[in-house]
Chains A and B, each alone.
Chain A
Amino acid sequence: MLNFIGYRVLQLIPLLIAISIIVFFIIQLPPGDFLTSYIQQLELSGTDVAQSAIISLKQQYGLDQPLYMQYFIWLKNIILHGDLGRSFQWNQPVTQVIGERLALTMAISISTLIFVWIVAIPIGIYSATHQYSFLDYLFTFIGFIGLAVPGFLIALILVYVVFVNTGVSITGLFSPEFQSAPWSWDKFMNMLPRIWLPIVVIGMAGTAGLIRLTRGLLLDELQKQYVITARAKGVGEKKLLFKYPVRMAINPLISTIGWTLPGIISGEAIVSIVLNLPTTGPILLKALMFQDMYLAGSFILILSVLTVIGTLLSDILLVMIDPRIKFGGVQE
C-alpha cells in the first residue's frame, strides 16, 4: 500500500513540473514583463519609482537573466519560500491576495463534490432499479439539461428569476455588513443560506453526469452473473442490491473524481464571476483583464495542483476499497 502511494506520488512529479512550465509560459505570454507594467502603473499614478527598488525587484525575480533561468528562479521561490510573485494590480504579494479566496474556492468545490455524490448516487440507483419508470425519465431529462446547460447560464437565469420575483439579489456569499468583516461564527452563519446556490449551480453538471454514469454502471452490474448467483441463494433484493452491484459500481465512480473535480473547480471559476462570489473566479478575471500575470498564473497553478492532489487521493481511495487492485489481479 505504502509502496503504491509512494509510486503514485513519484509519478506526479513530472506532471507537476509540466504544469509549472505551462503556467510559467502563460505568465510570459503577454508582451513585456510584469515589472514594466508595474513601473508604468506606478508612474501613471504619479508615484516616483526609486531606481534601487526596481533593481532589487529585478534581481529577486531574475528578470535580468535568460528565460529558463527566470523559470528556475520562479520555481525556486515557490518551492523554497512559498513566494508566488507579486500582483502589481494589488501591489501585494500574490499569496496575500489569494489566501482567503482560495480557501473559499476550495470550501465551495469540496462542498459541491459532496453535494454531487449525495444527490447523484441515490438518484442513479433509483433510476437503474426502476428503469423506464416515470421518475427515471424525469431524472434523465433533468440530467440532460444539467449536463447541457452550463453553470453560468443557469446562474444568470436563476439570479434573474429570483430577483424579479422577490426583489432579492442572491449574488455574493455574505450580506453587506459581513463582507469585509473578519471570520467569525456569525459570518459563517451568514454564509450558510447563501452558499447553497453556488453549490447547486456548480454541481449541476457533475450531478447530471454522475447520475447517468451510476445508472449505466448499475444497469451493467445488475445483469452480471454474480447478481443471479446471489438471487439464486435467496438473498433479498434490497440487501443484494447494496451488497453487490452498488458496491461494485462505487469503484469506477470513485475514479471519476479525477474528472469531476477539475470540472467543478473549472465551473466554480465562471459561476463565481456571475454570482460575484468572493472566491478566485472574479479575481482571476480581473487579473487577466489587467494582465496581472503572476496573480493569474498562480491561480491556475494552484487550481491545477489541487486537482492533481484530488485525483491522487481518489486513486488511493480506490486501491483501499478494491481487493482486486490491492492484490494485483485485475484480470476478469
Chain B
Amino acid sequence: MSVMVKLRNKWSGKTALNKRREKSEGYEVASQWQLMWWKFRKHKLAMMALFVLAFLYLLAVFCEFLSPALPQQRFTAYKNAPPTKIHFYDKKTGFSFRPFVYDYKQKVNPKTFLRTFTEVKTEKYPIYFFVKGPKYKFWGLFETDIHLFGLKAKNKPLFLMGTDDLGRDLLTRILYGGRISLSFGLLGIVFTLFLGLILGGISGYLGGVTDTIIQRLIDLLICLPTIPLWMALAAALPRDWSSAQIYFGMLLIFSVIGWTELARVVRGKILALREEDFTMAARLAGASDMRIIMKHLVPSFASYIIVVVTLAIPGTILGETALSFLGLGLQPPVVSWGVLLQDAQNLETLAHHPWLLWPAAFIIVTVLMFNFLGDGLRDAADPYK
C-alpha cells in the first residue's frame, strides 16, 4: 500500500474520531446504515439514478391512471401515426395556456401504401387534467374512468409517442409494459436472492462436500453461454401456458441460471466472517448458530448483498426484454418493453416509424440508472473506506 493510501485511511479515519472526541459526551454514534447513507448522498449520479428509478417505478405502479388510453385500445383511424404535437398557439385564437392538439388527416400513398399524417388546423382539441376516458379497473380493485390527462373529445389523437400498426397508443403501452418489465426485474431478483442466499449460505456455512458440490455447480453454470441457454429454456415453456404462468416460468429460468454470483458473494462473506473475532466471541458467549447468522453475519454483509442485487436487476430486465424481443419470452397480448420492441425488428418498418424505438429508450435509461445506483451503493457500502 502506498503512503498516500495509508495516509488517507489512517487519517480520514482519525479525523472522524477527533471530531467525535471534540464533541460533547452525548454525541451519538452513527450506525452503519447512516454512514452508508451519508456517503451515498455525496454520489450525485447515484442520487439522480435513485430519483429517476423511483419515478419510473411510480409510472409503472400508476400506469392505468397515468396513461391516456388502454393498452389494447385501437384507434383504427390512426394506425402508425407519429407522435402528436402539443400546441399552445393557434393562428385564429392566438396563445392559450391550455395545451391543445389538432386532428390528423391521413393520406395513403397509392404506391407504397405508406400512411402520412398531416395536422388539420381547423379545430383545437384542448388537453385537460383528470379527464374522463375509457374505463379501467385500478389495480384490479375498483372501476373508474378518470385519467391524469387526455382530451374530452372521443377518438381524437393524443399519441405523445405515436401509435403502432394496429393504432394503439405507444405511450400507454410503454407505461403498461413498464409495469411488467420493471416488476419482472424486482421479482426476478427476489427469486434469485432466495436461491443465492440459501445455496451460498449452505455452501459457506457447512463447507466440506456440500460446498464442493455447490461450487462445481457454479463453475458449470458460469461456463454455459447464458443467452442461448435462456433462449432454449424459454422456448421449452409449454405453449398452452397462460401469460401469468409464462411470466413466472421465465422468472424461474432467470433465477435458476442467475443465482451463482450472489451465492459466491454470500459464501465468500460467510467464510471471511466465520473466522472473524466477533463470531468467535459470540460462539464463546454461547450464542446458537442461527443467532450468529441472523445477528452478526447477515447485517455485516447485507450492504454487499444490496449492491450485488442492485447490479443484478438490470440483467434480469434485459434478459426478459431480449427474450420477448426475440419472440421466445412473453407473448402478446401481454405488454412488456421487450414485446413492444418486437415491432421494431423490421428495418423498413423502423425507418418509417422511428417512434417504435421509444421502448428501447426506456430500457436503456432504466438499465443505466440501475448501474449508476449500484455503483453509488458499492462506494457507499464501505463507509470507512
Contacts and interface: CB of A to CB of B under 8 A. Distances in A.
B9 to A, nearest CB: 12
A157 B358 CA distance: 11
Given A14-B216, A31-B238, A160-B351, A267 B2 contact: no
B344 interface: yes
A15 B2 contact: no
B232 A307 contact: no
B232 A300 contact: yes
B231 A269 contact: yes
A80 interface: no
Contacts of B238: 31
Q: Secondary structure at chain B's binding surface: helix, strand, loop or mixed? A: helix
Interface stretch (B64-72, B148-156, B194-202, B319-327): B319-327
Interface string B321-341: 110011110000000000001
Nearest to A31: B238
Contacts, number: 133
Interface string A172-215: 00000000000000000000000000000000000000000000
Contacts of A285: 231, 326, 328
Contact of A153 (B233, B354, B360): B360
A48 B21 CA distance: 92
Contacts of A269: 225, 227-228, 231
Nearest to B369: A148
Interface size class of B (residues with CB under 8 A): 35 or more
B372 interface: yes
A2 B78 CA distance: 71
B158 to A, nearest CB: 26
Contact of A148 (B223, B347, B371): B371
Contacts of A15: 216, 219-220, 223
A26 B318 CA distance: 23
A258 to B, nearest CB: 8
Given A15-B219, A163-B347, A304-B224, A228 B2 contact: yes
A94 interface: no
B222 interface: yes
Interface size class of A (residues with CB under 8 A): 35 or more
B236 A29 contact: yes
A163 B353 CA distance: 13
Contacts of A29: 232-233, 236
Residue with the highest number of chain B CB atoms closer than 10 Å, among A14, A30, A262, A308: A262
Contacts of A223: 1-2, 4-5
B363 interface: yes
Contacts of A149: 364, 367-368
A18 B229 CA distance: 14
A241 interface: no
Contacts of A18: 216, 220
B199 to A, nearest CB: 16
Contact of A152 (B223, B322, B347, B371): B322
21 contacts: A26-B236, A31-B238, A148-B368, A150-B322, A153-B364, A156-B357, A156-B360, A262-B223, A265-B225, A266-B226, A269-B225, A269-B227, A269-B231, A270-B322, A270-B326, A273-B326, A288-B231, A296-B235, A297-B232, A300-B228, A303-B225
